[in-house]
Amino acid sequence: MTTLAEPRRSIRPIVLPPALHYALHSAALTARNVTFVLFTVIMPVTLYLVFSAIYGGGADAGLASAMIMVSMAAYGSLGAAMSGGAQLALERRSGWFRQLMITSVPPRSFLLARAAVTMLLVLPALLLVFLAGGLLGGVTATAGQWLASLGLIWIGLLPMTVLGMVVGVWVKAEAVQGVTTMLLLALSLLGGLWFPVDAMPSAMGTAALALPTYWLGEFGRFPFLAGAVFPWAGIWVMLAWSVLLTILGALGYRRAAITSRR
């Protein structure tokens, strides 16, 4: 007696939407970048532990350690947020923009995917510094305070993510890393992430109020300060920077797209 063999069921590969596939691929490439991990994840934790040991003593040691923790978390996540421009510049030089012109996926989908990847990659820098503060730095707070500080910093990084993309579409690929590093250091220093704004000359202190990095630190410190008033002025500063940088990014993308057709 013969039996008929059942036909084999073909396993169809999972086909992801192009934008999602691009986002996952970009995230994997960035996570394997040793330089990225070193400077945006490991270094902020190290700096926090050093600064906390030096300046975190005294009667209010826990509060001082929390303020340093927020500054270093903001600094590390700022570097991660701006790093998306370097990858975008490499893709621009490699002909990615030219390939994008012949796909049916709107360019804004790829740019949104790039922004989403960058915002996802800033979380390890934030979480590790916060973990170091809670486990090693003596920072004590309620769960609501931890989550509020973490969430406010993360949301406040949106304009910085756009800034990294602006650099990526306007600056030559060979110079993107240098320009990004200079902007990171300047914005961190002038925004009070390295030194308190009160210790700066009055002119620098006034200029700091117009920088998103200053308000990034203020947002993160607010939940740990009893009786503090929410820094509403920072919302308007962040919105102004977001609008301006988005316009610059759109113009830069259009310019890069036109150049890629040549």
The residues spanned by each domain of the chain are: 33-260
What's the pLDDT score for residue 81? Answer: 85
Alpha-carbon gap, residue 28 to 9, rounded angstroms: 31
Dump pLDDT digits (tens) for 138-157.
899 999 999 999 999 999 99
Closest CA to 126 of 80, 65, 73: 73
- Residue 234 is predicted with a pLDDT of 95
pLDDT band at 191 (very low <50, low <70, confident <90, very high): very high
Do 88 and 168 meet the contact criterion of CB atoms below 8 Å apart? Answer: yes
* Packed helices 158-170 and 232-260: angle between N→C axes, nearest 10 degrees: 30
Neighbour count for residue 229 (Cβ, 10 Å): 7
Measure Cα distances from 220 to 121, 171, 191, 214 in Å: 18, 31, 13, 10
39: its two tokens:
């400077």
Confidence band, pLDDT 50/70/90 cuts, at residue 252: confident
Judged against a pLDDT cut of 90, whether residue 176 lies above it is answered with no
Examine the pLDDT at 59 and tell me if it is beyond 60: no
Give the global pTM. Answer: 0.82
Q: Which residue has the higher pLDDT, 127 or 39?
A: 127
Residue 39 DSSP label: I
Whether the predicted pLDDT of 177 surpasses 80: yes
Mean pLDDT computed over every residue of the chain: 81
Report whether pLDDT(17) > 70.
no
| Single-letter residue type at 149 | S
Q: Which pLDDT value is given to residue 137?
A: 86
Model confidence over 206-251: pLDDT tens digits?
A: 999 999 999 999 999 999 998 889 999 999 999 999 999 988 888 8
Q: CA dist 33 to 29, 36, 40, 86, Å?
A: 7, 5, 11, 12
